[in-house]
Structure 1
Amino acid sequence: MRHRRSGAPILGRLRARLLPLVALAVLAVLAGPAVAAHASAKPSVVLIVTDDQRWDTLGRMANVEKLVAAHGVTFTNAFVQDPACCPSRATILTGRFANDTGVLRNGPPFGGFASFDDRSTIATWLGAAGLRTALVGKYLNGYQGVDGYVPPGWDRWAAFTTLGYYDFALSLDGRWQSYSSSSYSTYVLTDQAVSFIRDTRGPLLLVYTPFAPHAPAEPATRDETAYPKLTPFRPPSYDEADVSDKPAWLRSHTRLAHRGANRFRRHQLETLLAVDRGVGRIVRALQATHRLHHTLLVFMSDNGVTWGEHRLVDWKFAPYDEMLRVPLVVRYDPLTRTPRRDTHLVLNADVAPTAAALEGLHPKTDGQSLLRLLAGTSSGWRTAFPIEHLRERALPESKIPSWCGVRFRRFTYAVYANGAEELYALANDRYELRNRARDPAYSGTRRSLLPRLMWLCHPPPPGMSLGRLCMVRGTPGDDALQGGPRGDVVCGSGGDDLLLPRGGSDYVDGGAGNDRIRVRDGVRDFVRCGPGNDRVVADRRDVVAPDCETIIR
């Protein structure tokens, strides 16, 4: 049952007005006079999300570079947690990972618009805080505006019901409107976005989500010959010659026809030119309405895409950087007066909590607010994050099995539902050419990464089990399980177990029963307990799940 947003009570409205001022006061302490000067102006939020745009294309967008990056922070290590349109967009709207939103692929079950609980999103939070809200463009895969449905929290709604560059359709506040081949969707959406900014009094939330540069990547007429002599794209991973170490789904791909790869890349870049002009119009509208200098302006993509790397053209859904990495640029003048680049690991899940924190709100999310990175403080920031995708059902990419993994700054490690694994040492293999998962020289590295993977991949995608990765496994009865000195994955089963990993960074899962777990070994361990009355003795640095009944530190 989907519910429309109801009016906030008087006390709630007063609280919503006061919290942003408190938040700005805190930011003033962090960032000094620059924020204090703007503390009296309630912030607006503009989120621009492109579709399948690679992280390395910002240099082709003059307005984004001049009007956003030149006044903000360019995050050079920005990623999505699930490299597919619908899961990523659900994460952007909520700040929650795919296994929390329940949107783990583009279509049902476990994916698409029908799987998304839209009652708690950036729109409902900021709308309740007093901002006028609008979504203009692509919402979620499978949204068709049936019965005029508009999700809760949105005051203005101009969402695709039929995607396309031409011959598309929108739901305009619940009314279906079709457009002919003479209308270019990026232009129509930009008009809608600019009108919303100009017509709205007070602070606003605008989520502007054009279809570009998603395939079939049809540029506007004026841009069709923008790149007549584009230099071919040929990184070392292009049309990868030796895929013998890759999973079976990738080994089945034949070598590329270069003409198709070149054409797709050129058309993607050409479609981004209309988006870039749209960014320019949006920024000028913010300036004309005296909002620009107190607006959080975010430019990003929902996921990346391949241009021929690993023999793949226009592919997503796999644990490779070309698909996981996205452009992310943030401008917020009270904190980002001068341009800079930030190398921290940031995620699509960080956008919603950032916007919420700016308004004094702190909903439960998996992401972290970027405000402290914008202010130049970074202690305690993440060093790794989970990555995953549930196997698609009706796309060419359905040959990719479900997978889950973890991305570190120096490593990517992913495991597939069929038992395949991929491990890349990114410090000396940034193009992910050599899979080290079965390389004896990297067995120690794999062992050290596995506990973090087991912790972050909980729960794994539906139908996928990680039990085969247990190094020490219990029986249905009572067991005493002891690990080795280098780090282990220790898995209890039924019965009342005693689990004693001895050294290294461990992952311990007690399973069912009344278990006793001792991980006080001076290194960081990860502990889950399961059903039963469990007792854990741990160091303060250990990460212990809330399902453990007794924790002694």
Structure 2
Amino acid sequence: MPALLVLLAGCLPGSRASGPPPSTAAAKGPKPNFVVVLADDLDSSLMPYLPRVNRLLTAHGTTLDRYYVNLSWCCPSRATLLLGEYAHNTGIWSNNPPNGGFAEFQKRGEEDSTLATWLESAGYRTGLFGKYLNGYPEQAPGTPATYVPPGWSTWVSPVAGSPFQGFDYTLNENGRLVHRPPSAKTYFTDVLSREAQKFVGAADERPFFAYIAPTVPHPPAVPAPRHKNLFPGLKAPRDPSYDLADMTGKPAELRRLPRLTAADEKAGDALFRRRVQSMQAVDEMVEALVSTLRTAGRLNDTYLVFTSDNGFHIGSYRLAPGKNTGYENDVRVPFVVRGPGVPPGRVSHALTGNVDVAPTLADLAGAWTPPLADGRSLRALLHGAPASGRRAYLLEHGTARGTHPAPAYDGPGVPPHPYTPATRDEAYLPAFAGLRTERYLYLEYVTGERELYDMAADPYQLRNLAAADPAASRLSALLAALRACAGAACRRAESEAP
């Protein structure tokens, strides 16, 4: 196993372009491989429909069942995963300029120091297969479609066409543009699977990092043709928050929503079924990757991670299908890992999140982690430790928008407002910040509205306690510290939470 690299204790000054000190650039000894499969908009309700993931990863690895995303939106979440920083430090708040998207990520110099560059400096082959950041590459003026960001030795990412529709798209394959016209062999998830299999099965003794990012089950959630008739009659889950009758205590933006109509329910059920169908190709991808690794003799030296950039809701609190809230369906996502020293069949209840992914993989690789990182290494937790050391996790959403904004950019081939039935109003919560602790979910909005839920007694966030529970004041003080924290200061504040 690679040696443990201790995270720097202080938040030291430094630039994103600066590299590791020569003495710590790479640890000696064998290095593990990493395969990260990042689904798009996957929430926990879809996990029962992924038998291969459950058989090959869940049963052989550890599930982190309190794994959260800092900001439940595609580009901000992916930026946090690659940098190990909360959104208030990445500066990526949305999918679009001027406060988000690929153009802002590039403009801020974030690409100069990411998980890919850290691992490349430690001797790794690095490969990205699929979706990178929203707006890549067309949002950034002067950036050609052949552009490959720093740190990636293999690059297969869509730059045009309709990858979200499953067919008819153009890929940037290592600086070469390749159009994949519709055919039985060009379903987008299947193409990514084949390319990733070639990468992890290559006759190359160097350790590798494969980052595989399909565009499902993000709406429109087009399944592979072979899966389009599966799960007849499947309906979206109806938990107690579904079409909630009593909206007392919810923000005004939600209280104005009407109850779901029969048409809303039918559209939500159809979308849920497509989401499940579209994930079958990802389920098959995981099986193919495990088989390839086993054949190549590298399975026992590889950490396989299966997770998502954010969750998703259908009908919760009368909302049209989507994300972007601070509620559990949107911020709590699946996370399963199998690998060297990871106990099989284990479920950990420790508070963890996407800010931890980059520091954890860098630590396992013996790679340098910059002091700018806010997250913590979960190495000990993954190897059986009972806790992560965190008592609170920061939630953010920094874009206050009207109730009918211009369509947000989700990527090539995504029609405007793909989630919302035409008969239903849209709701966009005002900007907020919040905390998820072991017991509470706490949210503060720019409107002055607040929400507090005792998650042990009220797991579906039905009864807002913010006006009556003294915990709200304590959590507000902690939130004020965390929403301005950086580096080690974040970890200290999280660990000392009341």
1:259 counterpart letter in structure 2? K
Contact 2:359 2:375 survives alignment (8 Å) = yes
Asked if structure 1 preserves the Cα contact closer than 8 Å seen for 2:70 and 2:87, the reply is: yes
C-alpha distance after superposition, 1:140-162 (max 9, x if no partner): 00102641211100001001223
State the distance in 1 between where 2:192 and 2:82 align: 19
C-alpha distance in structure 2 between counterparts of 1:242 and 1:296, whole Å:
45
Structure 2 matches for 1:17-416, cutoff 5 A?
17=26, 19-21=27-29, 41-116=30-105, 117-144=110-137, 146-147=143-144, 148-162=146-160, 163-164=163-164, 165-182=166-183, 183-199=186-202, 201-202=204-205, 203-256=207-260, 257-332=264-339, 334-363=340-369, 364=371, 365-378=373-386, 381-391=389-399, 394-395=406-407, 399-416=428-445
Give, in whole Å, the separation in 2 of the partners of 1:433 and 1:75.
25
Q: Structure 1 residue 447: deviation in Å?
A: 1.7
Q: Which moved more, 1:265-274 or 1:241-250?
A: 241-250
Structure 1 position 448, deviation (Å): 2.3
Contact 2:80–2:354, Cα closer than 8 Å, also in 1: yes
> Could you give the per-residue CA deviations for residues 501-541 of structure 1, whole angstroms, max 9, x where no partner exists?
xxxxxxxxxxxxxxxxxxxxxxxx97xxxxxxxxxxxxxx9
Shift of 1:337: 4.7
Following superposition, the deviation at residue 15 of structure 1 comes to: 5.7
SS at match of 1:387: strand
Q: Secondary structure at the match of 2:475?
A: helix
> Structure 1 residue 379: deviation in Å?
5.3
Letter in 2 for 1:211: T
Distance in 2 between the 1:325 and 1:314 partners?
Answer: 16
- TM-score by structure 1 length? 0.75
Task: Tell me the CA shift for residue 292 of structure 1.
Answer: 0.8
Given the alignment of the two structures, is residue 451 of structure 1 paired with residue 477 of structure 2, yes or no?
yes
Relative contact order (alpha carbons < 8 A, sep ≥ 6): 1 or 2 greater? 2
Distance 2:129 2:71 in 1: 23
User: 1:413 and 1:5, CA in 2 relative to 1: closer, same or farther beyond 3 A?
Assistant: closer
The one-letter amino acid of 1:341's match is V
Measure, in 1, the Cα distance between the counterparts of 2:313 and 2:279.
16
- Distance in structure 2 (CA, Å) of the matches to 1:179 and 1:542: 52
Calculate the TM-score normalised by the size of structure 2.
0.82
1:305 counterpart SS class: coil
- Counterpart amino acid of residue 97 in structure 2: P
1:375–1:199 distance in 2 versus 1, CA, 3 Å? closer
Which aligned pairs between 1:380-529 and structure 2 lie closer than 5 A? 381-391=389-399, 394-395=406-407, 399-438=428-467, 440=468, 442=469, 444-458=470-484
Letter in 2 for 1:357: D
Conserved in 2, the CA contact under 8 Å of 1:72 and 1:336? yes
In 2 relative to 1, CA 232–211 (structure 1 residues): closer, same or farther, beyond 3 Å?
Answer: closer
Deviation at 1:351, TM superposition (A): 1.2
- What's the CA shift for 1:232? 5.0
SS of structure 2 residue aligned to 1:48: strand
String of CA shifts for 1:247-294, please: whole Å, max 9, x gaps. 121122222221011111111011010000011111111111111101
The CA distance in 1 between the partners of 2:433 and 2:284, in whole Å, is 38
Percent of paired sites with the same residue? 39
Q: Is the 8 A contact 2:158 2:172 kept in 1?
A: yes
Q: Give ranges in structure 2 of 5+ residues lacking alignment.
A: 1-14, 408-416, 418-425, 487-491
- Amino acid of the residue matched to residue 338 of structure 2? R
Task: Name the aligned partner's letter for residue 79 of structure 2.
Answer: A
Q: Is the 8 A contact 1:49 1:301 kept in 2?
A: yes
Q: For this pair of structures, how many residues does the alignment match?
A: 436
Query: How far did 1:362 drift?
Result: 4.2
Q: Sort the Cα spacing of 1:178 and 1:314 in 2 relative to 1 into closer, same or farther, 3 A.
A: farther
Answer whether contact 1:215 1:314 (CA < 8 A) is retained. no
Task: Give the 3 Å change call, closer, same or farther, for CA 193–5 of structure 1 in structure 2.
Answer: farther
SS of the counterpart of 1:127? helix
* Post-superposition CA distance 1:75-128 (Å, at most 9, x none): 111110111110100111111111111111111112111121111111101111
Distance 2:483 2:114 in 1: 24
